Structure 1
C-alpha cells in the first residue's frame, strides 16, 4: 500500500533536487469533484519513481504520466488537469530542477570574479586548483565547493554531465589542455566547455586533440578562446565576457546586441508617420 506524502516529505524531495539531486515534480490536489481525490493530497514524481498517492491507482498513473511530461518538456509550475475513470482532478504541478553546475578549473585572477558572477546567476559553483594557497574558502566564499585535485586527474570525484558548464582558466596552457582532453574523451559532454587562451594556442590545442582522435563535432563544441567579444582586458572584464557567454549557452541567446536585433530606432526613424517636430 502506497502511503500518503506529508508536506515535510514533499519539501525534502524538492530541496534534494535543488541541491543537485534528480529533478522532481511536486503535485498537490487543488480540485477534485465528487471526492475523486482528497484535497491537498500530494505526490512527488521523478523520471524513474514516485512517492505518495492521490488515493486511486488510476489517478496516480495519470498524474505520473503528466508529471513526467512536465519534466521532459521543461514545463513551468502551474495547474494541470488529469482524468481517470471519468473523474477529473486539477493538480498544481511544481517542477524542481537542480541548478546548473559551473566548474571553474583554476583559481587565479579571472576565477575569483567569475565565481562571484556565477553564483549571482544561479550556478552552483565548484572551483578546482592544485595550489592550497589559491584554492581556499576565503578566496571563493560564494563557491559551493573548493577543491585541490591533482591536475593530472582534475575531475576525480567531480560530476561532469549535461548540466555542467566547464571553464578552464588554469595558470598554464598545459593544464587547460589536459583538462580539455580529459572531458572531450568522456561519453557525455558538458553543456558548455570553454578554454582561455590566445588564437595561436587554441589552434595548437585543437590540432593536437584532432591527432588524438577527437572528432570534429566535439571540437566545434569547445568555446575557445573563451567569452564574448566585449573588448575585455582586466580579470573582472574577462569574467563578465565569460559569464555572458555562459548565459547565452544556458538560455539560447545569440550574443548579438539587442539594438541590432530589435532595430527599434531604425524602424522609428524610417516611419512615415514620425512627428519630426516633436521635442
Structure 2
C-alpha cells in the first residue's frame, strides 16, 4: 500500500480509530507478500490490500474485533478450500488498533484527584480533570498534558458534555458533594464506559445502590460501579490512595493487551 505512513498520520491527527494489518510471513503460494499492509476503519472502509478474497474478508472482520476490544491480534491462515483458493500457501499477519488511547475523566479536583492526575502523566492515559467549584483551578499548577474543565453545579448538562463516552472512557467520581457524585454516577451508568469508579465507603455504596434502584429505576444499581476505588495496598494519605487508584486504572487498561 502506498503512502500508508501519511494515511496513518492523517487518521492520528483527526483521532480516528483504525486498525493496521501487516503481513508478517508468507509460506508457499500466497496472494500477498511480507510487508503488505491494509488499514481498516470502524465502518469497514479499507485502504490498501493484503491480497483480496476471503483472506482479506477474514482480516477485516478480525480488525473490527481488534478495534472493539482495543487489543493486538495475531492470526494465520492456510489458503485451502475454505478460502476458495487452491494455492495452499500460509499467511500470517498482525493487527494493531490505533488512535484508541484510554481517556480519563476525573470529577473532583481535590487532593486525591490532583494526585491521580499527576501520577498518570507520561502513561497511555489522556487526562481530563473536571470540577464545578468556581475558580477552583486558578491556583493549581498542572502538567500541560492535563486538560481541565470548569463545569456548573446548576447546569447538569455541562457534566455530560465534558465526557467523551465510549469503550475507552474511564470515569472517576471524587467530588466534594455526595449529591453531585450520585448525579454523575447516574449519568455514567446510562452511557458507555470502560471503567466507572466512585470514591467512598461500603456504606456509601449501599446507599447509592438503593437510590439507583428505587429512585432512578436502574435495576443493576451499583453492580457496574467500582466502589471503593483503588487496589488494597495500604496507606491513607492522598498520594498513597492515588497510587492505588492509578495502579487499578493501569491494570484495567493493560489486562486486555
- Interval of TM-score (by shorter of Structure 1 and Structure 2): 0.7 to 0.9
Describe the superposition over 1:219-278 as per-residue Cα deviations: whole angstroms up to 9, x where unpaired.
12222233233343211011112223334544569xxxxxxxxxxxxxxxxxxxxxxxxx
Is structure 2 residue 188 aligned with structure 1 residue 183?
yes
Pairwise CA distance, 1:155: 2.1
Count the aligned residue pairs.
Answer: 246
Match of 1:48 in 2: 43
- Residues 239-250 of structure 1 correspond to what in structure 2 (within 5 A)? 239-250=242-253
Whether 1:27 aligns to 2:32 is no
Q: CA deviation at 1:105?
A: 0.6
Instruction: Indicate how the Cα distance of structure 1 residues 249 and 43 shifts in structure 2: closer, same or farther if over 3 A, else same.
Output: closer
Q: Which of the residues 94, 112, 115 maps onto 2:114? A: 112
- Measure the CA separation in 2 of the matches of 1:13 and 1:61: 24
In structure 2, runs of 5+ residues without a counterpart are none
Q: Unaligned 5+ residue runs, structure 1?
A: 254-279
Q: Give the TM-score, by structure 2 length.
A: 0.76
Structure with bigger RCO (C-alpha 8 Å, 6+ apart): 2
The 2-side partners of 1:164 and 1:53 are apart by: 31
Q: Is the 8 A contact 2:36 2:49 kept in 1?
A: yes
Per the TM alignment, residue 44 of structure 1 is displaced from its structure 2 partner at its CA by 1.0
Query: If you compute each CA radius of gyration, which structure gives the higher value, 1 or 2?
Result: 1
The answer (yes or no) to whether the contact 1:25–1:71 under 8 Å persists in 2 is: no
- State the Cα RMSD in Å: 3.5
Q: Distance in 2 between matches of 1:231 and 1:38?
A: 54
CA contact (8 A) 2:213 2:220 kept: no
Q: Does 1:12 align with 2:14?
A: no
CA spacing shift, 1:5–1:138, aligned 2, 3 Å: farther
TM-score, length-scaled by structure 1:
0.71
| Post-superposition CA distance 1:192-229 (Å, at most 9, x none) | 22222344444433332222234342412222233233
CA-to-partner distance for each residue in 1:19-77, whole Å, 9 max, x for gaps? 85335133246437557335533211234312212354455334324544555676635
